[in-house]
Amino acid sequence: MARAAGPERRLLAIYTGGTIGMRSERGVLVPGKGLAAVLRTLPMFHDEGHAQACGLPEDTLVLPPACPEQRVMYTVLECQPLFDSSDMTITEWVQIAQTIERHYGQYHGFVVIHGTDTMAFAASVLSFMLENLQKTVILTGAQVPIHALWNDGRENLLGALLLAGQYVIPEVCLFFQNQLFRGNRVTKVDTRRFAAFCSPNLPPLATVGADVTINRELVRKVRGQGRLVVHGGMERDVGLLRLYPGIPATLVRVFLQPPLKGVVLETFGSGNGPTKPDLLQELREAAERGLVIVNCTHCLQGAVTSDYGAGTALAGAGTISGSDMTSEAALAKLSYVLGLPGLSLDGRKELLARDLRGEMTLPATDELRPSLRDSTLGRGVAQLLSLSQEAEDVRDALVPSLACAAAHAGDLEALQVLAELGSDLSLEDFGGQTPLHSAARGGQAGVVTMLLQRGLDVNARDRDGLSPLLLAVRGRHQGVIGLLRAAGACLSPQELEDSGTELCRLASRADCEGLRAWWQAGADLRQPGYDGRSALHVAEAAGNLEVVALLQSLQGGVGDQALGPVSPPPPCGVGPGGDCVLGTEPV
């Protein structure tokens, strides 16, 4: 966490709807359009004189000066349609995350204006969707519309804009009633009072009064410089089941049926539940068929423990402790972990038991480390994670080599654990290679796909000037070559310098697979070798009709050789004029 520097701080305020902008129609509140126009008329939200003096565009507002020599400017992006937050789902929250990703390079921070009813769910979901977040994201809203004479909307929105503009807090946060909370630690506790939210198991990150007090030791630190990754593949088939005294096993059985893949079980006290054999048997059978069950207490404060036999019985039935997570955070985390590709069931359970985004407090004596027992690399990752906090420098030095080894071996689980703990998978090992080099060399298509999704440089060169694409070509890994080419990989002039000679060598050995790999990577098969002859000339001189036919067909066709960088499709959720369009699916 740091005080933001620079004379200008630019923010994007994403207005999704909610009470703050609502208007009364026929006696009920409905989402109201034109929030930016309202803010422009309020001097606390817009300094019209400064805007005109600076020639700011019409869609940009500027706050009055809050500190010397620094201005906070913001653009309001109004979503179409506007929502009552009761109608918000993972689909809309994915699109908010994609909006942040799309504008990530243009703004220093983001404020999401959201209805309060599901704001805790939204903050939790966004905290898991946004990986490698290095900018401030704050959700806020109101209990009373901003148009009302006595309201909390002005104070909440102004506080969110000032904190996002003046501080770098690289988390998804929620600001309400002068307090900045970690987003995945909050829950709504009041329908009427302005203090609508609380963070029962973690103090506020900041408190605003006459001064701004930042709890610096609580703010999460940025590890690495990886680019922002949005995890849009959240699992939708998750649910929430609250136990109550006398709940019948038949009801539990019906609830736990497919397509449900995960459930947050709200239990009594410190994680206890009925010990009736028929109910425990339903939970056990669901867990055995792969349903992931997270145990969270329905108490506002405290954590799930193993102090009571009733809690131990639930653990024995296959539930996973949710520690002190809120139900909102547990449901979001479950959706996120189940949506990650390439993990075993045990790997998913281990991630659920770990603190990934500051959403839970692990007991000081609890050495929760991924078991990852299925491979030597997995055990190496577990040993690495067991290093003390004081050994962070050693850990950071070891991670690149271990990540490269895991990538070469195709150990997606080990890589996922490293990534979830904040390791930068784009760092180079001692040879200048990234995990993408290692995965390409080993022909690990699944790892290549994961790393490309995380934004690793597809054309990175190691210390010998070699790219992942060339390493895949040398290994004849055609599936990997296709993935890299589709992501924009191309062979450099240095790598193509002696390609003619290599092609001739392959032709002389009748290595059709090697020739096809070079062609797929974009090499010109007509390139002459050191003696001026092409691969086709060599094949014809050797009388190898199979190679001749292959070369003639490849040289005559377009095929993969025409592949180049692939432009991404237009992002879903973008409307005319740049409006944020929620509730739409990609075409």
Listing DSSP states for 473-531 in one string gives: HHTT-HHHHHHHHHTT----HHHHTTHHHHHHHHHHTT-HHHHHHHHHTT--TT---TT
The yes-or-no verdict on residue 460 having pLDDT over 70 is yes
Return the C-alpha torsion angle 533, 535, 539, 545, nearest 10. Answer: -140
16 annotated to a ligand binding site = no
Task: Output the CA angle 507-512-514, nearest 5 degrees.
Answer: 85
Residue 362 confidence class, pLDDT cut points 50, 70, 90: confident
Asked whether the beta carbons of 63 and 71 are under 8 A apart, the reply is yes
Question: pLDDT tens digits for 541-572?
Answer: 989 899 999 999 998 754 444 333 333 333 43
pLDDT of residue 402: 87
Cα–Cα distances in angstroms (integers) from residue 460 to residues 24, 290, 402, 452, in the given order: 56, 39, 19, 12
Residue 93 confidence class, pLDDT cut points 50, 70, 90: very high
d(CA 195, CA 55): 39
Class of the CATH domain delimited by 496-563 = mainly alpha
**2-223 matches 238-352 in fold:** yes
CATH architecture of 369-490: Alpha Horseshoe (1.25)
Cα–Cα distances in angstroms (integers) from residue 436 to residues 337, 348, 395, 448, in the given order: 23, 23, 20, 6
Active-site hit among 116, 118, 297, 449: 116
Pick from 475, 381, 486: which is nearest to 437 by CA?
475
Q: Which residues lie closer than 8 Å to 324 by C-beta, 6 or more apart?
A: 200, 201, 297, 301, 302, 303, 304, 360, 361
* Helix (DSSP H) and strand (DSSP E) numbers for the chain: 22, 21
Return the C-alpha torsion angle 45, 50, 52, 55, nearest 10. Answer: -100
Question: pLDDT tens digits for 364-394?
Answer: 644 444 444 455 555 555 555 554 444 555 5
Asked whether the beta carbons of 265 and 294 are under 8 A apart, the reply is yes
Residue 42 confidence class, pLDDT cut points 50, 70, 90: very high
Q: Which residues lie closer than 8 Å to 508 by C-beta, 6 or more apart?
A: 538, 539, 542
Top-confidence range, 159-168, 355-364, 530-539, 555-564: 159-168
Tokens representing 109 are 């921070």
Question: pLDDT tens digits for 171-230?
Answer: 999 999 999 999 999 999 999 999 999 999 999 999 999 889 999 989 998 766 678 999
116 as an active site residue: the answer is: yes
Beta strand 187-188 pairing with 197-198 = antiparallel
Tokens 């200048």 belong to which residue? 432
Tell the CATH superfamily of the 2-223 domain: L-asparaginase, N-terminal domain (3.40.50.1170)
Mean pLDDT for 248-268 is 97
pLDDT of residue 76: 96
Is residue 140 helix, strand or coil?
strand
Top-confidence range, 3-7, 273-277, 527-531: 273-277
Question: pLDDT tens digits for 135-158?
Answer: 999 999 999 999 899 999 999 999
Top-confidence range, 285-289, 543-547, 578-582: 285-289
Pick from 289, 351, 354, 359: which is nearest to 330 by CA?
359
Mean pLDDT for 63-76 is 90
pLDDT of residue 109: 97
pLDDT of residue 414: 86
The yes-or-no verdict on residue 288 having pLDDT over 80 is yes
Beta strand 229-230 pairing with 292-297 = unpaired
| Residues forming a β-bridge with 61 | 74
pLDDT of residue 426: 85
pLDDT of residue 383: 57
438 HSE (CA, 13 A, CB side): 27
Return the C-alpha torsion angle 350, 353, 355, 357, nearest 10. Answer: 80
Task: Output the CA angle 191-194-197, nearest 5 degrees.
Answer: 70
211 annotated to a ligand binding site = no
Percent of the chain at pLDDT > 70 equals 88
| Topology (CATH level 3) of domain 238-352 | Rossmann fold (3.40.50)
Beta strand 262-267 pairing with 238-242 = parallel
85 annotated to a ligand binding site = yes
The domain ranges of the chain are 2-223, 238-352, 369-490, 496-563
The yes-or-no verdict on residue 29 having pLDDT over 50 is yes
Average pLDDT of the chain, as a whole number: 88
d(CA 176, CA 123): 13
The yes-or-no verdict on residue 263 having pLDDT over 90 is yes
- Pick left, alpha or beta for residue 571 (phi over 0 → left; psi -120 to 50 → alpha; otherwise beta): beta
Asked whether the beta carbons of 134 and 37 are under 8 A apart, the reply is no
Residue 90 confidence class, pLDDT cut points 50, 70, 90: very high
